[in-house]
């Protein structure tokens, strides 16, 4: 399984936004510069993440972007779902047509698999991703 580029970029963008916690507001342009992502991509993500209640945008003097709730209360699952919708490995779980549905003995079990996957992503808070760590530290 692989995240879409947009979901990956959303996690990167939210991690950068979380590093601004307590330090005031930031902007889409600033997040783009920090992450190396194109400004239009970050603007699109900001729109989706704001609509999902993960980012808050304030206009005017002193305005900008900030997390809509504490970083510890935002998970990777929240971010992925804000961009991709419900986490599901197969389309049939979401009601899509399947050519083998009538003979499929696995279909009743996909919700369990999807719940386990969502649970794993929900166990990773944004605070963990916002910390600067090396790969060796994460694996250990």
Calpha distance 14→2 (Å, rounded): 19
Start-to-end Cα distance in the chain:
23
Does the structure show a pLDDT above 70 at 92? yes
What are 26-43's pLDDT values in tens digits? 999 999 999 999 999 999
Which of the listed CATH numbers 3.40.50.11540, 1.10.40.30, 2.40.30.260, 1.10.10.10 matches domain 5-130? 1.10.10.10
Place of tokens 């649970």: 119
Looking at residue 118, its pLDDT comes to 93
Residues 78, 83, 89, 90: is their CA dihedral positive or negative?
A: positive
pLDDT tens, residue by residue, 9-22: 999 999 999 998 76
**2-29 exposure pattern, b = at least 16 Cβ within 10 A, e = fewer:** ebeeebebbbbbbbbbbbbeeeeebbbe
Question: Taking the domains of the chain in order of start, what are their residue ranges?
Answer: 5-130
């Amino acid at each position: 399984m692989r995240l879409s580029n947009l979901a990956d970029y959303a996690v990167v963008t939210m991690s950068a936004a979380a590093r601004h916690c307590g330090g005031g507001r930031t902007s889409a342009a600033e997040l783009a510069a920090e992450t190396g992502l194109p400004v239009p991509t970050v603007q699109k993500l900001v729109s989706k993440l704001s609509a999902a209640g993960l980012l808050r945008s304030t206009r005017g003097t002193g305005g900008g972007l900030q997390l809509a709730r504490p970083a510890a209360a935002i998970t990777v699952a929240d971010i992925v779902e804000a961009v991709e919708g419900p986490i599901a490995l197969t389309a049939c779980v979401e009601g899509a047509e399947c050519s083998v549905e009538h003979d499929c003995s696995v279909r009743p079990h996909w919700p369990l698999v999807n719940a386990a996957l969502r649970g794993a992503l929900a166990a990773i808070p944004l605070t963990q991703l916002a910390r600067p760590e090396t790969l060796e530290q994460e694996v250990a």
